[in-house]
Structure 1
Amino acid sequence: MTATPAAAQTAAAPRFSIIVPAYGVEGYLRDCLDSVLGQSFRDFEVIAVNDASPDACGLIMDEYAAKDPRVVAVQLEQNVGLGRARNEGMSRARGTYLVFLDSDDTLLPGALQAISRRLEENGDPELLVFDYARTHWDGRITPNAKRKVLTTSPEGVFRLEDHPELVGLLQVAWNKAYRRDFVERWGFTYPSGYYEDTPWTYPVLVAAESVCVLDRVCVHYRQRRQGSILRSRSRKHFDVFDQYELVFAFLDAHPGFDRWRPAMFERMSHHFRVIERSPGRLPEDARAEFRARRVEVERRYRPAGWVETGGGGSAARRAARRLPAPLRALARRVRRVPGRVRKALRASVLAAYYRAQRVLPVRKDVAVFAAYWNADYACNPAAVHRKLLELSPETKTVWVLKPDTRNRPPEGTTVVRPGSFGFWRAMARGKYFVNNVNFPTAVVKRPGQVHVQTHHGTPLKRMGVDLIEFPVGQGTLEMTSLMERVDRWDYSVSSNSFSTAVWDRAYPAEYTSLDYGYPRNDVLVNATEADRVRVREALGIAPGTTVVLYAPTHRDYHAAPRPLLDVEHFAERLGEEFTVLSRVHYFNLGSGSGALAGAGVVDVSGHPSVEELYLAADCLLTDYSSLMFDYALLDRPIVVYANDWEVYRATRGTYFDIHDEPPGHVVDTEGDLLDVFLSGRWCDDTSAKARTEFRRLFCEFDDGRAAERVVRRVFLGQEVPPVELPEGRPRRSARG
């Protein structure tokens, strides 16, 4: 598609056309678009190009376009790659200047105003170069390593000859503003390929007759912990040769720029060597071929009289940085247990035993399970365990459990205590590991071992590295150690596409998402009326009684657990036709803050199965607990008591506002809560409509076969058909 001609510009044309191509970034796209739309400078359009992304990117773009006329959503039917997606955006641009923004990056507040002001001050040059900073998963922000190139640039407008150091900046599209008539006059477009920025960046710099610099950080360049696509191991890195061919073809077509051949050759040679020497980029069987191709291309383009320059000593510097890690670890252990000789001795013996066990072969028929920090036989791991016993009874299973748990695994399952010799033997010798939290940091993942993270709920509250902005919610969670544990994951089980996006940004690592639903919810999907009657009879609930299950979540901002609702008063006001089942959060078990049993109240905090309580209940009363996402599968009323929403959201952080996308009625006071029930609104049409939309958004994967899918895929190595989603069902993404 050809670009709109410059003559088509009118007085109504925006100052900037900001082009945002997207593929597979639903967890970050909202942050990106919000950073643009929230700018104080308003004269721009956003051209968001969905490059046939398999996730919710297209839906998010349509949503933003429907709300803000400055957003144009372009939906490509086929994936064309970053370069061609940018071209599609350029072809629709009307702005005086083009600005590119990658869909997982963000503009800083005031950036567009600063860019516009600098352009005006310098008579609207053809090119403006501005600064950026890198943002890391752990909250660090690091400056541009080449920022001195900007701070030492000439004042006002200049050409590349006046400041050739600009060619040493990172080869990216998004650190510049380009006057659109300049781009169109030269016919600049992006090629396809892995390194599409290279033949765009250098010709643009060479051709621009008027350049100015803005020494201000305008973009936060997100460093995905998984690494960029350019750092993945692939033969696609050979694309760099073709892209530099395009650079020199541009110089061939414009002999007036021959003086730039040495600089382009130097940058090319340096780039080739970076790829060749960087571990993890080239497959081992491709290294010799890459080197031979490099030598051939360099020979062809080497300028006459070129003298190779190079530095040395990098290997020596790396060696000098090696530190005696074992000594540091030993010192830390000694500091932690001064005077505790017996404990220290036992720890040393266990560590030695674990090391010795790791020398022995991994047992391919052993699977190790745990849940809730070894506190129970429950949740997704228990459901997977039961299905594994059914489909692969020959597999030997081990459960890690503390003493006196509410539930015990089936007979024949080996039970080990955390930190025991049996525990460390299982950690060393087992092949499969299934947990809804993480195994200890000290666990070493051996080659051939497989870790499955099942999680334990759909996240309304912030999780993982997204807690960095919320120190109260983060508490004592140490992010570097957390990521060491996350790096062990091979699979992450997800209950809906919203969760998949959250896990991707909250736990950035190289694992495979199993979009199968939650195994623990299979029982809810497959339950019958007979199951409901059986559970209610076991709980002693009289026929005809309306049962409300009250289950609040934990509060990070409370120093000690405290009641959030006067349950006895609430039950008393409801009357005899209601029974309230009260269940405290598992963090608060044994804290003395359990629900009081009284008239109309049954304390079910110690009940072994929350799923059975779901079946017994006619309505779920909760606050911000993930229980609402599971209970919604039963299509029964849900009421949210959000009396401390603003405090909770400020201290813990949430991915969306429960008032905007509720599962039913949301109330803020105890008086309103009573009114919802006493008036009958808890089960009215408004509640049903909200619940239907909530189910549509968050119950998409659960079809009653999640446990089977996990077992067949992970343990039996079988192909598993994907969950069939109803046509038109949207896929959601995490909201910041």
Structure 2
Amino acid sequence: MISKIKKLAVKNEIFATIIYVCFKIYGGLFYIVFCVMDILPIKENKIVCCNMKGKRYGDNPKYITDALLKKTNNLDIVWLLNDLTDREVPENVRIVKYDFWHQIYELATAKVWIDSNAKQYGFRKRKSQLYIQTWHGSYGLKKVGADLGDKISKIDICNCKYNFKNTDIMLANSRRTSEIYNRAFGYRGQILENGSPRNDIFFQNSEDIKDKVNKYFEVNGKRIVLYAPTFRTDYRVSDLNLNYDILLQALSNRFGGEWVVLVRLHPNNLQDAKSFIQYTDKIINASEYDVMQELLVASDVLVTDYSSCMFDFVTNGKPCFLYASDIARYKEERDNYYELEDLPFPVATNEQELKEVITTFNADKYKKELNNLFEEVGLKETGHASEIAADYILKWMKEH
């Protein structure tokens, strides 16, 4: 429903204004209810986590949750989710419906909030509560926040300012990421620059994860290419499809072996996952798989367009290719921090170019350019970001 409303708002200025007024009214109501909740005491051992506005159990909050559970069993950890079924949530984590009343009650009575996205405008954080914003991108390609200039909607800029004014701690995996937080979000608080908790997984033994993904999708030991395009401002899907036969053949010719492609659409396009792609035993729908990082670990190659997952995937130096058939239009609508050609990743704007860049892939040149990129952004991935964040939280809870 929200995605459909946003599509209409993008296309109709009058409708966008109406939506903005409703957004402000709803935020005001949200704030009033939070104020009423002040009569309730804060539960000193309670932590509330959320990711993608309740869409998934995953991203940075998941890995911080895992680290906390390894350190203590005396916490009441709550996850806000839209779907309360079929989730790989640990037994000692409490799942609560991500709706108006439950969300407000759990947040209002928690000691710590952990989120990977901006919260609903109008929330009210008490002085004795800690709001940790992990964000869901790294030093990324797509511009965000104020860096978008007049390309950002009134709703997004309003909610962005409100959230980061109330945020106490942010997590960053690089010097460049911290700079983006300061400039694009106007954030002036503390930043833990020790890596992304979700990327600790790249420093661990990957065999169990690979086995898990292989069994889940029944790929039977075939090599995996993950196709993970991001969403467009108007939510169109016309630029997301490609010729999978050409892709799979090119990969087999260059790297050998038999391949399958896992197609993972952005959560904003989740409702479109079955509408324009013909899935087979070699073209597999992975859009509803909860944990993106597990797909990245299990995959041998990534094909994306403008998604920041490219920067996570190459933590271990694996091949990533960019298939971007709408570069000019996307730049006009959203804009990027980099020109695609300035990145280490081979770029294709059509299927024949994609075949060519895969076939002629130069591993040595790619590795050298990756190292240059890591140095340029001041990469700080340590493999211990989850543990560092968990230690910070437990220390803060003890002292406050």
Q: Report what 2:67 is aligned to.
A: 387
Q: Report what 1:441 is aligned to.
A: 121
Q: Report what 2:385 is aligned to.
A: 706
- What is the CA-CA distance between 1:495 and the residue it aligns to? 1.2
2:51 and 2:259 map into 1 onto residues whose CA distance is 33
In the alignment, residue 390 of structure 1 is paired with which amino acid? K
Question: Percent sequence identity over matched residues?
Answer: 24
Q: Is the 8 A contact 2:182 2:188 kept in 1?
A: no
Residue 265 of structure 2: which of 566, 570, 584 is its match?
584
- What is the CA-CA distance between 1:518 and the residue it aligns to? 0.6
In the alignment, residue 228 of structure 2 is paired with which amino acid? A
In the alignment, residue 465 of structure 1 is paired with which amino acid? A
- What is the CA-CA distance between 1:676 and the residue it aligns to? 2.5
Deviations along 1:664-706, one digit per CA (max 9) or x if unpaired, are 31222211101223x2x23533333333333444572212110
Question: Taking structure 1 as reference, are residues 559 and 435 closer, same or farther at Cα in structure 2, changes over 3 Å only?
Answer: closer
1:484 and 1:352 map into 2 onto residues whose CA distance is 16
- What is the CA-CA distance between 1:358 and the residue it aligns to? 0.7
Q: Report what 2:352 is aligned to.
A: 671
| 1:723-734 superposed matches below 5 A | none
Q: Report what 1:621 is aligned to.
A: 303
In the alignment, residue 267 of structure 2 is paired with which amino acid? Y
1:381 and 1:451 map into 2 onto residues whose CA distance is 12
Q: Report what 1:191 is aligned to.
A: none
- What is the CA-CA distance between 1:452 and the residue it aligns to? 0.3
Q: Secondary structure at the match of 1:469?
A: helix
1:530 and 1:353 map into 2 onto residues whose CA distance is 45
| 1:524-563 superposed matches below 5 A | 524-529=202-207, 531-543=209-221, 545-556=222-233, 558=234, 560-563=236-239
1:468 and 1:646 map into 2 onto residues whose CA distance is 18
Q: Is the 8 A contact 1:402 1:418 kept in 2?
A: yes
In the alignment, residue 54 of structure 2 is paired with which amino acid? N
- What is the CA-CA distance between 1:586 and the residue it aligns to? 1.2
| 1:71-470 superposed matches below 5 A | 354-403=34-83, 407-458=87-138, 459-470=140-151
- What is the CA-CA distance between 1:444 and the residue it aligns to? 0.8
1:456 and 1:467 map into 2 onto residues whose CA distance is 17
Q: Is the 8 A contact 1:571 1:601 kept in 2?
A: no
Question: Taking structure 1 as reference, are residues 422 and 581 closer, same or farther at Cα in structure 2, changes over 3 Å only?
Answer: closer
Q: Secondary structure at the match of 1:608?
A: coil
2:156 and 2:208 map into 1 onto residues whose CA distance is 47
Q: Report what 1:734 is aligned to.
A: none
1:534 and 1:416 map into 2 onto residues whose CA distance is 26
- What is the CA-CA distance between 1:362 and the residue it aligns to? 2.3
Are residue 690 (structure 1) and residue 372 (structure 2) matched? no
- What is the CA-CA distance between 1:476 and the residue it aligns to? 5.2
- What is the CA-CA distance between 1:533 and the residue it aligns to? 4.4
- What is the CA-CA distance between 1:623 and the residue it aligns to? 1.0
Question: Taking structure 1 as reference, are residues 412 and 375 closer, same or farther at Cα in structure 2, changes over 3 Å only?
Answer: same
Are residue 611 (structure 1) and residue 293 (structure 2) matched? yes
2:211 and 2:132 map into 1 onto residues whose CA distance is 35
Question: Taking structure 1 as reference, are residues 478 and 423 closer, same or farther at Cα in structure 2, changes over 3 Å only?
Answer: closer
In the alignment, residue 564 of structure 1 is paired with which amino acid? L
1:683 and 1:598 map into 2 onto residues whose CA distance is 31
Question: Taking structure 1 as reference, are residues 351 and 647 closer, same or farther at Cα in structure 2, changes over 3 Å only?
Answer: closer
Considering fraction of residues, name the structure with more helix: 2
1:336 and 1:513 map into 2 onto residues whose CA distance is 32
1:664 and 1:353 map into 2 onto residues whose CA distance is 48
In the alignment, residue 710 of structure 1 is paired with which amino acid? A
1:636 and 1:686 map into 2 onto residues whose CA distance is 13
Residue 183 of structure 2: which of 505, 515, 520 is its match?
505
1:406 and 1:690 map into 2 onto residues whose CA distance is 41
Q: Which runs of 5+ in 2 are unaligned?
A: 1-20
- What is the CA-CA distance between 1:488 and the residue it aligns to? 0.9
CA root-mean-square deviation = 2.8
Residue 716 of structure 1: which of 365, 385, 395 is its match?
395
What is the TM-score when the length of structure 2 is the normalising length?
0.83
Q: Secondary structure at the match of 2:176?
A: helix
Question: Taking structure 1 as reference, are residues 593 and 696 closer, same or farther at Cα in structure 2, changes over 3 Å only?
Answer: farther
Q: Which has the larger radius of gyration?
A: 1
Deviations along 1:636-688, one digit per CA (max 9) or x if unpaired, are 1111123222221221121122211x2331222211101223x2x23533333
2:32 and 2:185 map into 1 onto residues whose CA distance is 31
Question: Taking structure 1 as reference, are residues 670 and 373 closer, same or farther at Cα in structure 2, changes over 3 Å only?
Answer: same
| 1:49-60 superposed matches below 5 A | none
Q: Is the 8 A contact 1:376 1:406 kept in 2?
A: no
Question: Taking structure 1 as reference, are residues 501 and 354 closer, same or farther at Cα in structure 2, changes over 3 Å only?
Answer: closer
Q: Report what 1:318 is aligned to.
A: none
In the alignment, residue 560 of structure 1 is paired with which amino acid? R
Are residue 517 (structure 1) and residue 195 (structure 2) matched? yes
In the alignment, residue 300 of structure 2 is paired with which amino acid? D
Q: Report what 2:7 is aligned to.
A: none
1:610 and 1:712 map into 2 onto residues whose CA distance is 25
Question: Taking structure 1 as reference, are residues 468 and 442 closer, same or farther at Cα in structure 2, changes over 3 Å only?
Answer: same
Q: Report what 2:5 is aligned to.
A: none
Q: Is the 8 A contact 2:264 2:287 kept in 1?
A: yes
Q: Is the 8 A contact 2:42 2:110 kept in 1?
A: yes
Question: Taking structure 1 as reference, are residues 478 and 538 closer, same or farther at Cα in structure 2, changes over 3 Å only?
Answer: closer
Question: Taking structure 1 as reference, are residues 498 and 697 closer, same or farther at Cα in structure 2, changes over 3 Å only?
Answer: same
Question: Taking structure 1 as reference, are residues 683 and 540 closer, same or farther at Cα in structure 2, changes over 3 Å only?
Answer: farther
Aligned residues: 369
Deviations along 1:299-351, one digit per CA (max 9) or x if unpaired, are xxxxxxxxxxxxxxxxxxxxxxxxxxxxxxxxx88x979xxxxxxxxx97x87
- What is the CA-CA distance between 1:352 and the residue it aligns to? 6.7
2:324 and 2:204 map into 1 onto residues whose CA distance is 31
Q: Is the 8 A contact 1:494 1:513 kept in 2?
A: yes
Question: Taking structure 1 as reference, are residues 640 and 593 closer, same or farther at Cα in structure 2, changes over 3 Å only?
Answer: same
Q: Report what 2:337 is aligned to.
A: 655
Q: Report what 1:570 is aligned to.
A: 246
2:334 and 2:389 map into 1 onto residues whose CA distance is 31
What is the TM-score when the length of structure 1 is the normalising length?
0.47
Deviations along 1:280-299, one digit per CA (max 9) or x if unpaired, are xxxxxxxxxxxxxxxxxxxx
Structure 1 residues 576-585 or 376-385, which shifts more?
576-585
- What is the CA-CA distance between 1:431 and the residue it aligns to? 1.2
Deviations along 1:179-205, one digit per CA (max 9) or x if unpaired, are xxxxxxxxxxxxxxxxxxxxxxxxxxx
Q: Secondary structure at the match of 1:520?
A: helix
Q: Report what 1:314 is aligned to.
A: none
